[in-house]
Amino acid sequence: MLVVKDYNREHAVTYARRWALDRNPLYFDYTGIGGNCTSFVSQCLYAGSCTMNYTPVFGWYYLSAAERTASWTGVEYFYNFLTGNAEVGPFGREVSEGELQPGDVIQLGREESGYYHSLLVLSRGERDILIAAQSDDALDRPLSTYTYDYARFLHIDGVRLRIPDTEDCFLSLLNGEAILPNLASAPPLPQEERGE
């Protein structure tokens, strides 16, 4: 069964502030070979969701440079995943610029080449939006300093998780077969029962 949890915007922004001007050694750096901007934004979203979608081809995950989906690193693929995701992982939608919140995403486009750059929203000021980005590394850079022909604004609505169906517990209990506790919500055992 799928459930929705909140996207942790604070974690996404904290991650962006830590790594915008550096590179996390857990991830391959695509700077100079297509750009690292969408990989960086994906890392931020992962920090705020801690959930990947391991669906082959159309999911959103990174295990290594050789084991990842195009949506982790590609601007259009990222957009398609985020706005079309009805399964596990973060999901969102296009909104107006005024609806953006910290932890949301902006993608910039040019007439001749389409959408080419992904940015993470850090904060909103009275006059401008401050962003973090990689490839052309930026931290607290005003959106107004970028040159682009158009932009789209992506609001992260939440994160879907898959949890065991409660019917499994009910039927096992009803039939006298097994007690299947929901381990995620179970209180910790006392120290003596843990064998410590």
CATH of the domain at 94: 3.90.1720
Domain identity same for 125 and 175: no
Domain identity same for 143 and 172: no
- Tell me the pLDDT of the chain averaged across its residues: 90
- Indicate whether 158 pLDDT > 80: yes
Domain identity same for 177 and 122: no
Residue-number span of the structural domain to which 171 is assigned: 167-196
Residue position matching structure tokens 């994906």: 42
Domain identity same for 123 and 176: no
Domain identity same for 101 and 185: no
**CB neighbourhood size of 87 (10 A):** 16
pTM score, whole prediction = 0.85
- Indicate whether 191 pLDDT > 70: no
- Indicate whether 160 pLDDT > 90: yes
Q: Could you give the 3-state DSSP secondary structure of residue 147?
A: coil
Domain identity same for 103 and 21: yes
Domain identity same for 156 and 176: no
Alpha-carbon dihedral 136, 16, 80, 55, rounded to 10 degrees: 120
* Nearest-5° Cα angle at 169, 164 to 51: 15
Domain identity same for 36 and 122: yes
- The total number of structural domains in the chain stands at 2
The pair of structure tokens assigned to 96 is: 């107006």
Domain identity same for 116 and 193: no
Domain identity same for 171 and 142: no
